[in-house]
Structure 1
Amino acid sequence: MLSREDTMEKKSFSWKLKDVLLIAIAGVLFSFLYLGTVYVGSAISAALTPKGLGVLGWEPLYGIYFMASTFAILIIQKPGVGIVAEVIASVLEVLMGNSFGPSVILNGIIQGLGVEVAFAIFRYKRFDWTPTIISAFTVTAASYIYDCIAYQYYLNPVWMILVQILIRLVSAIIFTSVITKLLCNGLAKAGVLNAYPIGQQAGSKKDYEVKDEE
């Protein structure tokens, strides 16, 4: 059986004021989460450094840094919203004192693109679990390639590179895909997002279920 996303008619991808507002709100909210993650990641990395594993300290939390883009895409369902949400979160994170400085903004662009690719594969017509899970793989690949260049991860032992990628992927699946998807679905079912596609789809499903019960 085809999902609702598979049978969607052509829709306008032009942005509306409500889209801009939600992107801005998402950027602000996730910037605080990102900044907090920096401190936690730094602590874990510092604890592992004496054992020569400091570089792995960030990986369990890395998926958190991709959440803004997935959140925006799942709700608004238009191209580019993920990149912009991620960039806004990154810029605000820098302004609030991120220890990595402006380089985080470039990270945000790469990460936003990494998530967007998964939904672009389906031409922004599917926003169910399939592209959401795929986004964890695409953003892990994009972010790690960038990190290899920026931080010379390619100089690490092969086993460490593989462990990094594996942990980052698991983190992305948990935070970027599962938690973000459940959060968006929960907000939609609660009626908070009725002005957006995800809220309207949730409302249509409720109506359908009520008719079935009758």
Structure 2
Amino acid sequence: MPAGGKETSIGERERIPVSNVLQSSKGLKLTDILVTVVIAIVFGVIFRVWGSVYDLVKIFGLQVEQLTYGMWFIAATVAFLIIRKPGVALLGEMSAAVFAMLIGSQYSVESLTYGLAQGIGAEIVFALFGYRSYSLAVACLAGIGAGLGSLGMDWYKGYLIELQGWNLTLYFVFRFISSIVITGGVAYYLVKALDATGVTRIVRPVTESDRRSLHD
């Protein structure tokens, strides 16, 4: 949810109250870390079972399984949109990857390297906006950043070598669609719903502009 109570288009900076800026500039508190751990546990479990969903969709071919891929980035955007502090996107994504590995992820240690790359990709986008924009557009851009991180790992691991022409195009297009829709859109509206319940007050007070944005 935008702290300024109004979403802006890509490239525009939201107007954030000074009190919010000062709050976001502070380091992580124990409460922030504990909330991040909770987020990591929840999404770590989801990451663990999502491999089965991915494999199930994969049988349809045409790279449609890439449309599910954005779920593996979502811990980064949810963590940042809730806590709104530097480093949280990376911490949330990495922690979720670690927990997924600990409970038996089929991807084992590879979960960590991908989690690191994806978390860095999302973190860079939030940093480019000074950690002061929490709009849907920025969340979607962060999803794309995480997607780029994952594609970088795919290239490094050699998973893209056999893909050519339209097959490679579908792979990229579907991966980015998933990054925008799931990592950006689903995360944004999930946090907005949590804001409406008051749950996010644990880590940040609700401002008047926050209340107005709930009705946007």
The TM-score range, normalised by the shorter chain, is 0.7 to 0.9
Give how far 1:207 is off.
Answer: 7.2
User: What is the match of residue 212 of structure 1?
Assistant: none
Aligned equivalents of 2:51, 2:39: Cα separation in 1: 18
Moved over 2 A (4+): 5-10, 203-209
| 8 A contact 2:68–2:178 mirrored in 1 | yes
TM-score when scaled to structure 2?
0.84
Provide the C-alpha distance between the structure 1 equivalents of 2:140 and 2:77, rounded to a whole number of angstroms.
10
Summarize deviations over 1:55-91 as a string: whole Å, max 9, x none: x253121000011010010011111111111111111
1:185 aligns with 2:192: yes
| Deviation of the 1:152 alpha carbon | 3.2
Identity of counterpart residues, as a percentage? 24
SS in 2 for 1:97: coil
Amino acid at match of 2:52: Y
Distance 1:3 1:67, change over 3 A: closer
- Secondary structure at the aligned position of 1:183 is classed as helix
Q: How does 1:6-21 map to 2 (within 5 A)?
A: 6-9=15-18, 10-11=21-22, 12-21=25-34
State the Cα deviation string for residues 155-210 of structure 1 (Å, max 9, x = none): 3112211111110111111111111100101111111111333x524x5443799x
Ranked by relative contact order (alpha carbons within 8 Å, sequence separation 6 or more), the top structure is 2
Mapped pair 1:206 → 2:211:
yes
Q: Which residue of 2 aligns with 1:93?
A: 100
Structure 2 match to 1:145: 152
Residues 63 and 171 in structure 1, CA contact (< 8 A), matched pair in contact too: yes
Q: Mind listing any 5+ residue stretches in structure 2 that lack a counterpart?
A: 5-13
User: In structure 2, how many angstroms separate the alpha carbons of the residues matched to 1:92 and 1:190?
Assistant: 27
Decide which structure has the larger Cα Rg and report it: 1
The answer to whether the aligner puts 1:131 opposite 2:145 as a matched pair is: no
Report the secondary structure of 2:199's partner residue: coil
TM-score normalized by the length of structure 1? 0.85
The RMSD of aligned alpha carbons is: 2.2
